[in-house]
Amino acid sequence: MRVLCLDVGEKRIGVAVSDPLSITAQGVETIFTKGPEKDAWRVRELCGQYLTDRVLIGLPRTLNGEEGYQAQRVRDFARRLSLFDLNVRFQDERFTTRSATRALIEGHMRREKRKEVVDMLAATLILQTFLDAGGWPEENGEKSETPRKKVYAMSDGKEFNMEQDDIVELVDEDGKEVSFEHLMTLEHKGNTYICLAPVEPDDDIGEDELVILRIDTDEDGNDAYVTIDDDEELDDVFEKYLEIAEADED
């Protein structure tokens, strides 16, 4: 399966894609940003065009390896993509844009033209580095797909205070306990949803994945936290989450 790669900037997003065998990378296009929502939809369209759900994103870091404001913007954008059921991973992109710019200068490309292609070339370099290092682990026979729908219950019969508790400990049907950071609880179209972020990544949930669960009631009358398998419902709740989060920031 192909891998789509993004070099995410404030004004432009460079896009590259691998060949079907994940050996070589080639540039696709430069997305001139129109807002996170529209940009995410364009990435989703490209994934459909290339028949892949694998998205690699360059993660900017400082020279000492720390993450700053731009890295957080990239992670926020990745969370949007994960709501489209895309499998998102990150690749260190330090010096990549600088290397791409140098290559274009050495090729005597005019400054105005460089702005149009430098991010796409950066995405190509990020992806090729990733492929040369072994590429997507699943290509080597590993599997990481998990059932979309899961049901969680509170750990050890604990009750969750949505206004006071920041960490939620849930247990799935297999008895596996997972700790989440509580981001928000919201009402939408008569249902209650809880928005969470995993405290630590595991085999089922990535470290940057936003988890949205619907709060239902089981046959015993207890709260059950259920993953959503309806894409339209999931998208609606995610947009509601973003609307509230952005209003809180303002």
139: tokens are 């290509």
* Cα(84)–Cα(238) distance, integer angstroms: 10
Alpha helix locations (H) across the chain?
A: 36-49, 69-82, 96-106, 111-132, 231-249
What pTM, to 2 d.p., does this model score?
A: 0.53
DSSP string, 90-121: EEE-TTHHHHHHHHHHHTT--HHHHHHHHHHH
The Cα 84–Cα 209 span in angstroms is 11
* φ, ψ for residue 6, nearest 5 deg: -125, 135
Distance from C-alpha of 170 to C-alpha of 40, rounded to nearest angstrom: 30
Measured between alpha carbons, how far is 70 from 171 in angstroms, rounded to an integer?
34
Least confident of 54-58, 217-221, 238-242: 217-221
The reported pLDDT for the residue numbered 116 is: 58
Of the listed ranges 7-16, 70-79, 142-151, 166-175, the least confidently predicted one is 142-151
Where is pLDDT greater, at 243 or 53?
Answer: 53
Split at pLDDT 50, 70, 90, the class of 156 is: low
pLDDT at residue 250, rounded to an integer: 58
Higher pLDDT, 191 or 202: 191
Q: Which residues contact 89 (CB under 8 A, 6 or more apart)?
A: 54, 55, 56, 57, 136, 206
Q: What pLDDT, on the 0 to 100 scale, is given for residue 115?
A: 52
Does residue 78 contact residue 209 with C-beta atoms inside 8 Å?
no
| Residue 207 pLDDT greater than 80, yes or no | no
Between 110 and 228, the higher pLDDT residue:
228
Dist CA 115 CA 72 (whole Å): 23
